[in-house]
Amino acid sequence: MRTLLPALLVAALVGGPVLAQTTPAAPAPASMSFSTATTAITLGGQLTAPRSFVLADLQALPGHEVSLTYMAAGKSVTHTFKGVLLSDLLTAARPAFDPRVRNASLTWYVLAQGADGYAALFSLGEIDPGFGNRGVLLAYAQDGQPLPASDGAVQLVVPGDLKGGRYVSSLVRLTVLPAALPAPN
């Protein structure tokens, strides 16, 4: 379910400057409603430098483009996406790895959540340019346009995934955490 309602609820709950945007003086352009332009994406978890981003923050960072084909609702679709590398955001946020543990990052994950509560996770190992190097993007443009309204302002794009299930749309939260490790024996 990807209606605008969750995004509107989030905008209403966040308050402050976002709330002030709920009665815009002029109609927003159809391609980018006020709610998607101001929806915050929170990057949190066990990070040294957590932060949140709005669309304009992401657009100000180095952009990357990728063209790919994947299965969405049983159909093959092909698009060119532009966005920011998840690995760039994770590097800047500096996960609080235990320096005594060899390759500690390989036991961590990032959980991505949409405004509708839909969620998917990635291991940091698959994101890391030195390991899986998957090139996962926080995409804000599709085929040279803002994302379709049904996908919100930002959607994950996951090169290598055959099905679109991890293309989390209307992205609102990324949470970076270590996996709970069972005793090895």
Ligand X SMILES: Nc1nc2c(c(=O)[nH]1)N[C@H]1C(S)=C(S)[C@@H](COP(=O)(O)O)O[C@H]1N2
First and final C-alpha spacing in the chain: 42
Considering beta carbons, is residue 107 or 116 the nearer one to ligand X?
116
Does 167 bind ligand X (CB under 6 A)? Our answer is yes
Q: Dump strand ranges (E) for 6-94.
A: 41-45, 51-53, 64-72, 75-85
Of the candidates 56, 55, 136, the residue with the CA atom closest to the CA atom of residue 90: 136
Residue 9 is classified by DSSP as H
CB of 149 to ligand X, least distance (A): 11
Which of 44, 118, 132, 135 binds ligand X (CB under 6 A)? It is 118
CB atoms within 10 A of CB 94: 12
Size of interface with ligand X, in residues (CB under 6 A): 15
Considering beta carbons, is residue 82 or 107 the nearer one to ligand X?
82
Considering beta carbons, is residue 95 or 136 the nearer one to ligand X?
136
Considering beta carbons, is residue 90 or 168 the nearer one to ligand X?
168
CB atoms within 10 A of CB 151: 20
Contact residues toward ligand X (CB under 6 A) are 2, 72-73, 77, 114, 116, 118, 151, 155, 164-165, 167-170
